[in-house]
Amino acid sequence: MRVPRSMVVGLSVGMSAALVPAGWPVKADGGPGYCVLPEHSLQSGAYLIDTASSLGWIHPHPAPLAPEPTNTERLDFAGFPNVSALDVTGPRGRPARKVITTFTTNVDRVVVLTSSAAVSDDDGRTFGPAGPTPLRESPVELLDGRFFATEYYPHRTGPHTARLGVLTSSALSDGESWLRSESTLITPGDLLPGGAAHGTPLQLADGTILITVYARYAPVDAYQAEVYASGDGGRTFVRRGVIAEPGGGFQFTEAAIAQAVDGSLVAVLRRDGGPYATLWQSRSPDGGHTWTPARELRFAGLDCVVRGVAPRLLLMPGGALVLSAGRPDNWLAVSPDGLGETWREPRVTYHNRDGIWPAHGSSGYTGLAAVGPHRLIQVFDNCKLPGVRPSGLLDETACPAHGRFEHGGWYAIKRLLFDVAVPGSRIDLADLRRRGELRVSTTMRWTSPYRPRTGPGGAFDGSTGHWSSAVAAGPGRYVLRFSRPRTISRVGLSLRPGHPASARVYVSQDGRTWGPPVVTVKDRTDYALRYATVGRTARYVKVVLPAASGCDAEIGFECSMLNEIELYS
């Protein structure tokens, strides 16, 4: 929906007389009992989120030179961003990532949504110009190789059904051409109109696709957060569980779910009904069927209520679970053990304050994606999109055009890169192999034209995607030979994602004498890298993997998989 320029001009003139108190910009005040987050981490330790880039603009492109937009430029709406990092193949078949940032280009109102997407081919450092896209939520790669995303608004078709737009793309086209179809949502309750499918889809190891929806039911007529499951590739979704029900004047809307390192599901969700939206959390041990009673999300060492909207969760390939949210400021927090029970080191990552009201500026809607085993990208908007008043004029009270913002009044999308620090110094196996300082000898060479990321290099390509692995149609043997001896302090392994698997790790100076294994894994189910201390000097590292049954049909009944290996010195 486009609002006539004259409406924007009239409103902007009216807001230009706003005055900023002395001492601008002020620190965002959380209010009594609410958390006021630091600009930098107050804690130190092994898992510190460190800024890995300067602030970068995604849209407008190129970044504007003027501190404030013109009235016409203010009509170039951009907000509510999402981001995905998709495994693709680059030149000469090398592993690569395509980072797609999508954002809304219409006003903040229930209308036919319009969106744009900008793409990065260098792990989020730079983005090209944005263009129209049907995507609203972040796409994910499914086990069958398709990229998959949902539209935002379900449309009620009956007392127990709704239809939801689904977007898919072949991996061979790298997600650039999206096919739209409609999925049927089935629920046992008496469904009312409204709600949204908010959040990034999640696929379990058995192929089930999970999405989160907030919906209203008679006779309560208040939103609750739910999980829907599809066992047919996204054609139908059946309500699997309710994360949190409304009550006491409160309701639950936007929810993010992620699989923790132990395989359980973690949910962080928005609760509305008080002075501010706050964040709550829950956990499911059985794939989303049942959930623990929702409780307030808290930060370790801080006795305060966490404000926030639109939470995002990301299990990093390195095993840390990261939480992103915002309003009044955008922020990150980390669960170092990947379980999501304890959140540490909350820190503000971006704000666009004007000194008048804490919630002015950015909407607080963010996106997260992993662009390496320990590096992530966070995207956010500069100004909350305007609504529309009953009179038809724009409602820009959340980002008035008064020229007082720290980063200007642009409707813009920006990004930052962060590193989740880990103990020790990681040996860059991919770089050593490119320079000829590392050779790989392995029986794990299974590949397919439809799985171009499989192969020996898939074990250290920085991705824990299912098909970014070294694979064998039977038992596997994987040997790394360095050009010189190296001190190995830790070994990180991710085996067959989501399935029990075993492995033994050996080290050797000459490649002939190995001795007993330095790491033994027995029937462990991995969802990210897990680490073991070694403390040995070696020129050779060998991983032996027995065959497991029940593998993907295209591989065969038995297989072994080395999803990712990391070595530290």
Q: Per-residue pLDDT for 115 more than 70?
A: yes
Q: How far apart are CA 137 and CA 102, in angstroms?
A: 8
Cβ–Cβ under 8 Å, residues 417 and 371: yes
Closest CA to 257 of 195, 305, 209, 190: 209
The DSSP call for residue 215 is: E
The listed range with the strongest mean pLDDT (2-11, 175-184, 261-270) is 261-270
486 Cβ contact partners less than 8 Å away, ≥ 6 residues apart: 427, 537, 538, 539, 567, 569
**What's the mean pLDDT in 440-465?**
96
Q: Which residues pair with 164 in a beta bridge?
A: 183
- CA distances 549 to 89, 203, 241, 451, Å, are 28, 21, 30, 20
CA distance 128 to 339: 36
Predicted confidence at residue 83, as pLDDT, reads: 98
Residue 171: what pLDDT? Answer: 67
Query: Are 341 and 282 contacting, i.e. CB atoms less than 8 angstroms apart?
Result: no
The mean pLDDT of 227-246, rounded to a whole number, is 98
pLDDT of residue 112: 79
Query: Alpha carbon of 289 to those of 38, 240, 321: distances in Å?
Result: 37, 5, 22
Q: How confident is the model at residue 129 (pLDDT cuts 50, 70, 90)?
A: very high
Average pLDDT on 260-282 reads 97
Average of per-residue pLDDT across 227-239: 98
Q: Rounded to the nearest 5°, which phi and psi values hold at 429?
A: -65, -40
Residues whose CB falls within 8 Å of the CB of residue 47, separated by 6 or more in sequence, listed in order: 320, 334, 336, 344, 345, 420, 421, 422
- Is the Cβ–Cβ distance between 399 and 360 less than 8 Å? yes
| Cβ(41)–Cβ(345) below 8 Å | yes
HEC profile of 499-563: CEEEEEEEEECCCCCCCCCCEEEEEEECCCCEEEEEEEEEEEEEEEECCECCCCCCCCCCEEEEC
Q: What is the pLDDT of residues 147-203, one digit of tens each?
A: 999 999 999 999 999 999 999 998 666 556 899 999 999 999 999 999 999 999 999
- Long-range (24+ apart) CB contacts under 8 A made by 142-148 are 142/203, 142/209, 142/233, 143/203, 143/207, 143/466, 143/467, 143/552, 144/233, 145/170, 145/171, 145/450, 145/451, 145/467, 146/170, 146/171, 147/86, 147/171, 147/175, 148/201, 148/203, 148/209, 148/234
- The two structure tokens encoding residue 532: 């073991």
Summarised one tens digit per residue, pLDDT across range 322-359 is 999 999 999 999 999 999 999 999 999 999 999 998 88
Give residue 95's pLDDT band: very low, low, confident or very high (50, 70, 90): confident
Q: What average pLDDT does range 519-526 have in this prediction? A: 98
Q: Is the pLDDT of residue 44 over 90?
A: no
Whether 317 and 328 have beta carbons less than 8 Å apart is answered as no
pLDDT score, position 113: 85
Q: Which two tokens stand for residue 53?
A: 């880039």
Q: Please write down the long-range contacts of 407-410, taking CB distance under 8 Å and 24 or more positions apart.
A: 407/352, 407/361, 407/382, 408/67, 408/68, 408/69, 408/352, 408/382, 409/68, 409/69, 409/74, 409/383, 410/60, 410/64, 410/68, 410/69, 410/73, 410/382, 410/383
Evaluate if residue 207 carries a pLDDT over 60.
Answer: yes
The token duo for 141 is 């790669």
SS (H, E, C) 54-115: CCEEEECCCCCCCCCCCCCHHHCCCEEEEEEEEEEECHHHCEEEEEEEEEECCCCCCCCCCE
Of 359-363, 486-490, 500-504, the least confident: 359-363
Mean pLDDT of the residues in the chain: 91
For the residues 524-552, what does the mean pLDDT come to?
97
The DSSP bridge partners found for residue 559 are 548
| 23-32, 34-43, 307-316: segment of lowest average pLDDT | 23-32
* Higher-confidence position of 139 and 11: 139
Check: CB of residue 348 under 8 Å from CB of residue 329: yes
Give yes or no for residue 473 having a pLDDT over 90.
yes
The pTM assigned to this predicted structure is: 0.93
